[in-house]
A = this chain, B = another copy of it.
Amino acid sequence: MSRLESMRRRLTAQIDGLNWAAKATAGLTGDVLEMGLGNGRTYDHLRERMPDRRIWVIDRQLRAHPDCIPPERDFLEGEADAMLTDLARRSARMVLTHYDFGIGVPEDDAAEALRLSALIAPVMVPGGLVVTQQAMTGFTQIPGPESIAQGRYFFYRAG
């Protein structure tokens, strides 16, 4: 499989996974959290799928496409640890967190996701979902949509 096909498969997994999670959390009350804005493509998808949810965004810097810039009040620019602590303090609670951090160094990315798990848990509503390409800890892993290859995405339910 070429890197072009691999990229398409990754986008398909993102689309299917986020659509599935949006539907699965439709009955819950709360906000959405996008960790890692990047170019803003998945943010754009989340806001299109869940137009009535407030979508918080955490990133170290704003470098999204001009059409995908979150409202200023929802964009938390800085280190994730501080921003998650801030969200918890403000009593913001998420029905869905999409975790998309990573610099492409497998060990570092894995360690960061495990470390941040403990800070994500307090901002989740009970039964809320975490969708991530990195393994997390402290949540209940659940199967996602059947269309996504095993191990490509992880789906977790908050306790």
Task: Write the residues of chain A forming the contact surface with B, with a CB cutoff of 8 angstroms.
Answer: 2-5, 7-8, 11-12, 14-15, 39-42, 44-45, 48-49, 65, 67-68
Contacts and interface: CB of A to CB of B under 8 A. Distances in A.
Contacts of A2: 41, 44-45, 48-49
A45 B2 CA distance: 5
A4 B8 contact: no
What does DSSP make chain A's interface, helix, strand, loop or mixed? Answer: helix
A80 B48 CA distance: 39
A15 B8 CA distance: 9
Contacts of A11: 4, 7-8, 11
B7 A68 contact: no
A10 B19 CA distance: 20
Contacts of A42: 4
A68 B7 CA distance: 14
Q: Which 8 A-B pairs have the closest CB atoms?
A: A2-B45, A4-B45, A8-B11, A3-B44, A4-B41, A3-B41, A2-B48, A2-B44
A65 B8 contact: no
Contact of A14 (B4, B44, B45): B4
27 contacts: A2-B41, A2-B45, A2-B48, A2-B49, A3-B39, A3-B40, A3-B41, A3-B44, A3-B45, A3-B65, A3-B67, A3-B68, A4-B11, A4-B14, A4-B15, A4-B41, A4-B42, A4-B44, A4-B45, A5-B15, A5-B45, A7-B11, A7-B41, A8-B8, A8-B11, A8-B12, A11-B11
